[in-house]
Amino acid sequence: MAKTHSQILQIAIPKPLYSHFDYLPPVGIDTKQLCPGMRLRVPFRTHTYVGILLAVVDSSSLPDSKLKVAHKLLDSTPVLPKESLNLLRWASHYYHHPLGEVISTALPLALGKGQSATLQAFSGWILTKEGLTYYLDKLLKKTARQQTILSLLQQYPQGLTQTTIANNLSNATPTLRSLEKKGWIKSQVIVNIPKPKNTASISPPLQLNTAQNEVVNQVCNKLQQFYPCLLDGITGSGKTEVYLQIIQKVLDKGLQALVLIPEINLTPQMVNRFQQRFTESIAVLHSKLNDNERLQTWLLARDGHAPIVIGTRSAVWIPLARPGIFIVDEEHDQSYKQQDHFRYSARDIAVVRAQHAQVPILLGSATPSLDSLYNAQQQRYQHFILPERAGIAVHPTFHIVNMRQQPYQSSHLSKQLKKAIGQRLEKHQQILLFINRRGYATTLICYQCGWIAYCQNCDARLTYHETHKNLQCHHCGNISPPESHCPKCQHSKLYLQGQGTERIEEHLQKQFPNARILRIDSDSTRRKHAMHKMLKRIHEGDADILVGTQMLAKGHHFPNVTLVGIINIDGGLYGIDFRAPERMAQLLVQVAGRAGRGEEQGEVIIQTFHPDHPLLIRLIRQGYASFAQAALEERQKAKFPPYTRLALLRAESTEVQPAMDFLHAAKIQTQQFNCQEVELWGPVTAPMEKRAGWYRAQLLLQTTQRKHLHRLLSQWLPQIPSSTKKIRWSLDVDPQDLL
Ligand code: ADP
Ligand code: ZN
Ligand code: ZN
């Protein structure tokens, strides 16, 4: 047969491969029907995959005989709008990650599996203009049934499904028909089932203070342009109120808002605030949605039926028909960076999205990242500062306790901290103790021979958990029973060293037998609703001392907490990662921010073995902004981001040596590209060399200008051999940690 296909389909496949693949159209499909963004099922090696059409072109580098025919076209309209494809292409390019995998990160699982992309729709009813303005009291008593329906629909101007109406009124159809005849209602396909909402519970907008007003005005004046803003204000300074009022303006224009938050399940109050303000339905992408619910939410947003979308990291990819504003709350939070596979930063992607869409973006935080502060200093972002609100509690006072001067004791609670706890208990105030470790003890050790219980898969000590009476590896999840004898010298007595939340809890219970203690960590809150119940107890005053991990630091308001104790801050002061001090400061400010938000002044006690650390002193005496300035100066001196750009090439292998050898070979390859502007450091073994059975090494790339890094990576990566079962590699552009 003569060559009738002059048209070639370029398709992205969800595989870690840098190129796209060429196919011929499925049998019986005219290429005129095809648009980029549609899905096709295609054969690839021994499997079939759901791929995304990128383009239809005239020629292929493959000979005709090698071209395979796509099996099936799955969509009649593109699942991914043009804007999304552009964003995904940009991300693939920026992070040097295969486009097929980038797309599969962004696509709901159901679509990746080939499920149909249609929105569930229901028959329903909506008020006409006449119906909307009809005064109910004009209806006579005998039309009580009509009155019921009209008043119901007046509460839900976006319409109600037939089913919902029938639930409120039996045998509703004749009444609906007669209302339709009068021209007061009309039938409508309803895609969004509005949740019953009591309009009486809607809380009106607050009168903004001057600083808030300034932000809202500036942003609302620029709704049609890219306007990146850093909203810098301590917790309680009114950032959320600013978001809400800007969103209202965006909705008034018929546009959509996308709000990213770090955690939904732990901080339900954020979503509640939104639900209390808007009558519009709010699409929340949380981890409890099943695949189909997630798909439906995604489609609602894509087709413009969801005016407000709230979600965590992956929600940054959700397409919007009419984007009006992007908001990233707690922009400094590490959870915005995906730490495996496709290592993107949702915060950075959101900024690029806003730029593509030419709309404003707000990055909000009480402790902005040094990256964003730097961008503000460089005038890339508008910097808005919300000063502390008048009338609310004054700053807490800080005390540093030098742990070197403490007599040795196993509890790691200094006498100053114990005394302060006692005083607060007497006054019936709450105390929050922060410790960055869950479990009971960080080390199981034999004092006879020095043996320590290590994970067999990782270079990490096992943590002893008293509640489960077992040893756990916090890096690979390995669980084992605790030894009763030293496996090395058979000594029968082993000791538990180091502190976790469980041990602090036990110790406090001995010290303060009458106190009600609540431990809050990922173990104690694992069960459904557990966190909710604990928060309730705290708010009802049914707990005196809260012991917890950083889970407690995020976004909670505990008005009766007047004392915060930080058991040990030292990991942050001398961590191996250059971002460690920044993280320490953010955590400290966030934890300290829980104290004294009521009437009484709060007090923060920080235990440390390094009481003279200059950054710690600066933070405590002069505040976060001053700390950030000093930390930025250190970064500049050390040539670290944001003053330079980094990428990390990681390799891991099942044996000790291959990962290092692999990186050495890769490094030598770079010489041919003649790229002196990029410095290569290493390869070195990773700070935790062995993790989950893999030996890890890394090669750091550093440059002053991104374009050099970019050029090198584009030439180099395609030449690096693919991962195998024994050795695998990954690239992390803008790594958030060097571990
Ligand atoms: P943030 O998001 O910065 O923590 P919020 O917006 O949650 O701050 O505000 C903290 C508290 O102050 C909330 O209870 C909020 O209702 C209240 N609040 C915010 N702005 C105002 C205002 N302009 N007038 C009165 N109360 C306000
Ligand atoms: Zn021993
Ligand atoms: Zn392990």
Q: Which residues line ligand 1 (CB under 6 A)?
A: 206-209, 212, 233, 235-241
Q: Which ligand is nearest to the CA of 490?
A: 2
Per CATH, the architecture of 645-733 is what?
2-Layer Sandwich (3.30)
Alpha carbon distance 191, 305 (integer Å) = 8
Rounded to the nearest whole angstrom, what is the distance from the C-alpha of residue 483 to the centroid of ligand 2? 11
Residues around ion ligand 3, judged by CB within 5 A, are 455, 457-458, 473, 475-476, 478
Residue to mutate (ligand 1; options 210, 215, 234, 241; most atoms within 8 A of CB)? 241
> The domain 201-386 belongs to what CATH superfamily?
P-loop containing nucleotide triphosphate hydrolases (3.40.50.300)
**Domain locations in the chain?**
8-112, 121-191, 201-386, 397-440+499-635, 441-498, 645-733
pLDDT, one tens digit per residue, over 249-264 is: 999 999 999 999 998 7
- The three state secondary structure string of 116-142 is CCCCCCEEEEEECHHHHHCCHHHCCHH
Q: Which amino acid is at 383?
A: H
Q: Which of 44-48, 372-376, 531-535, 727-731 has the lowest mean pLDDT?
A: 531-535
CATH number of 397-440+499-635: 3.40.50.300
- Ligand 1 atom with minimal separation from the 234 CA: 3
Q: How many CB atoms lie within 10 A of CB 407?
A: 6
pLDDT(268) > 60: yes
Instruction: Using a pLDDT cut of 90, give the percent of the chain over it.
Output: 59
- Ligand 1 atom with minimal separation from the 209 CA: 23
pLDDT, one tens digit per residue, over 486-510 is: 999 999 899 998 889 999 999 999 9
Instruction: Report the nearest-CA residue for atom 5 of ligand 1.
Output: 238
Instruction: Report the nearest-CA residue for atom 20 of ligand 1.
Output: 238
Give the fold, CATH level 3, of 8-112: GIY-YIG endonuclease (3.40.1440)
Rounded to the nearest whole angstrom, what is the distance from the C-alpha of residue 196 to the centroid of ligand 2? 65
Rounded to the nearest whole angstrom, what is the distance from the C-alpha of residue 345 to the centroid of ligand 3? 26
3-state secondary structure of 736: coil
pLDDT, one tens digit per residue, over 568-602 is: 777 666 667 889 889 989 988 888 887 766 667 78
How far, CA to CA in Å, does 324 sit from each of 229, 279, 361, 380, 635?
15, 18, 9, 20, 35
pLDDT, one tens digit per residue, over 67-98 is: 899 999 999 999 999 999 999 999 999 999 99
- Ligand 1 atom with minimal separation from the 386 CA: 3
Q: Is 446 or 551 the better-scoring residue by pLDDT?
A: 446
Position 113 confidence tier, pLDDT thresholds 50, 70, 90: very high
pLDDT of residue 639: 92
Position 410 confidence tier, pLDDT thresholds 50, 70, 90: low
Rounded to the nearest whole angstrom, what is the distance from the C-alpha of residue 690 to the centroid of ligand 3? 9
Q: Which ligand is nearest to the CA of 597?
A: 1
pLDDT, one tens digit per residue, over 270-303 is: 888 898 898 887 899 887 788 988 999 999 999 9
Alpha carbon distance 567, 550 (integer Å) = 12
Rounded to the nearest whole angstrom, what is the distance from the C-alpha of residue 486 to the centroid of ligand 2? 5
Phi and psi of 622, rounded to 5°?
-115, -5
Rounded to the nearest whole angstrom, what is the distance from the C-alpha of residue 522 to the centroid of ligand 3? 18
pTM for the whole structure: 0.90
- One fold for both 201-386 and 397-440+499-635? yes
Which residue is associated with the tokens 């006072």? 397
Q: Which ligand is nearest to the CA of 475?
A: 3
Q: Which ligand is nearest to the CA of 494?
A: 2
Phi-psi region of 612 (alpha: psi -120 to 50; beta: other; left: phi over 0): alpha
- Ligand 1 atom with minimal separation from the 242 CA: 6
Rounded to the nearest whole angstrom, what is the distance from the C-alpha of residue 5 to the centroid of ligand 3? 54
Residue to mutate (ligand 1; options 202, 240, 363; most atoms within 8 A of CB)? 240
